[in-house]
């Protein structure tokens, strides 16, 4: 089973070969109701077969196409579920995810996977990072309000001793090349310079830690080059000002998690990091809605709830912020060559959910997406957008 992330989303929407089948179902985790899981799953598979048949695919081919999903239907699989399950099937891709919150039953067969119900888990419930730093170990985590997973970062320094040894081996002697650093660091400080008030040996050790922090920041700078998600630092308190001197990531938060990362569980790291980052996500959403309502009221042309304007704008990188109803669908097609949006009251063969289309392209083009329950949507609309220009 893969782990939900922005990178996984990019894989799912990177032009898989159609037809693309998306299956969503709520699942039971325990008790007698767990027996309903395979029954619901078989019903969804049967509905997917019918939709494939409607596209002109022979029944035997449809059954073979869905075989990888049917192989999940075994006792041990249903015994290890969470609140929901989603399965994606295409000719060149098969993925499934156990979801930490329930979802509505849904089967979509089209040119792309239907991913809008996942955006609430990936995006606007908080995509953030945690750097757990100690002299003996470095770990990097990616999280949301519902998930928290360690991420392996290529060339990440593992500990202070190994970093200093590598420095000696590569340079022959320990020396630092001075260069100005951005972000939250002091531009007048340079790698290897540490102004302490202790003994020479203590100052030398602190300078070594600073060099170690520069090595960590250099690797993270490449990893997070295009990112805007907040980064929370976890470690022993005396490391915080040293790492901030080396840091160049502009979204490192002021509040940190104080404690030895080697004795803090990943669950505790997740809970503490979410406590720190969650208020900013709710505030960003509130500010975004207020901005949308103001722009609509001023009739600036920079905000609209007209889906036929939003679809091409999302496709052509114009949408800065999108609000979309997570529980509704607007079926149709988008002709990108002629910039025509065609909407249908009921799904037709090869239709896509145009709300899903707008959300995915906004997110992949660097915009912000807020998936909301319909009662919380601005002005009661199903979709609303703020344009970049």
CA dist 31 → 41, 75, 101, 102, 381 (Å) = 18, 14, 18, 17, 39
Q: Is the dihedral of CA 338, 341, 347, 352 positive or negative?
A: positive
pLDDT on residue 176: 45
* Strand-pair partners of 340: 335
Going by C-alpha positions, the residue among 313, 308, 383, 304 that lies closest to residue 342 is 308
Q: What are phi and psi of 171, to 5 degrees?
A: -105, -10
Tell me the pTM.
0.64
Query: Which domains are present in the chain?
Result: 6-114 (3.30.960.10), 128-279 (3.30.420), 301-387 (3.30.1330.30)
| Structure-token pair, residue 227 | 């990112």
Q: Which residues of the chain have pLDDT under 70?
A: 1-3, 15, 122-126, 165-200
| pLDDT for the residue 218 | 94
Q: Tell me: the pLDDT tens digits for 310-343?
A: 999 999 999 999 999 988 999 999 999 999 999 9
């Amino acid at each position: 089973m893969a782990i939900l992330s922005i990178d996984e989303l990019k894989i799912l929407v990177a032009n898989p070969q159609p037809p693309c089948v998306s299956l969503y179902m709520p699942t039971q985790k325990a008790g007698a109701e767990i027996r309903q899981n395979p029954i619901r799953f078989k019903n969804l598979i049967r509905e997917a077969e019918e939709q494939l048949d409607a596209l002109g695919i022979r029944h035997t081919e449809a059954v073979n196409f869905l075989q990888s999903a049917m192989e999940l239907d075994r006792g041990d699989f249903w015994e290890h579920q969470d609140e929901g399950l989603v399965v994606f099937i295409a000719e060149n891709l098969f993925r499934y995810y156990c979801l930490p919150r329930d979802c509505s039953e849904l089967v979509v067969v089209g040119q792309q996977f239907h991913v809008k119900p996942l955006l609430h888990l990936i995006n606007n419930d908080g995509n953030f990072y945690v750097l757990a730093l100690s002299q003996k170990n470095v770990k990097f985590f990616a999280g949301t309000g519902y998930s928290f997973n360690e991420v392996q970062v290529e060339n990440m320094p593992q500990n202070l001793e190994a970093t200093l040894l590598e420095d000696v081996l590569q340079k022959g002697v320990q020396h630092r090349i001075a260069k100005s650093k951005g972000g939250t660091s002091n531009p007048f400080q340079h790698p290897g310079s540490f102004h302490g008030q202790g003994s020479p040996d203590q100052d030398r050790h602190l300078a070594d830690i600073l060099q170690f922090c520069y090595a960590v920041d250099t690797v993270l700078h490449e990893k997070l080059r295009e990112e805007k998600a907040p980064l929370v630092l976890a470690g022993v308190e005396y490391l915080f000002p040293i790492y901030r001197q080396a840091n160049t990531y502009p979204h490192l938060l002021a509040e940190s998690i104080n404690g030895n990362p080697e004795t803090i569980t990943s669950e505790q790291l997740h809970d503490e990091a979410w406590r720190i980052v969650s208020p900013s996500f709710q505030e960003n959403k509130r500010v975004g809605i207020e901005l949308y309502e103001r722009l609509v009221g001023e009739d600036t042309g920079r905000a609209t709830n007209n889906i036929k304007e939003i679809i091409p704008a999302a496709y052509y990188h114009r949408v800065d912020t999108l609000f979309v109803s997570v529980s509704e669908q607007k079926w149709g097609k988008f002709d990108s060559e002629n910039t025509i949006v065609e909407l249908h009251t009921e799904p037709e063969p090869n239709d896509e959910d145009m709300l899903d289309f707008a959300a995915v392209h906004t997110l992949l083009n660097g915009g912000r997406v807020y998936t909301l329950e319909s009662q919380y949507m601005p002005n009661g609309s199903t979709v609303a957008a703020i344009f970049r220009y």
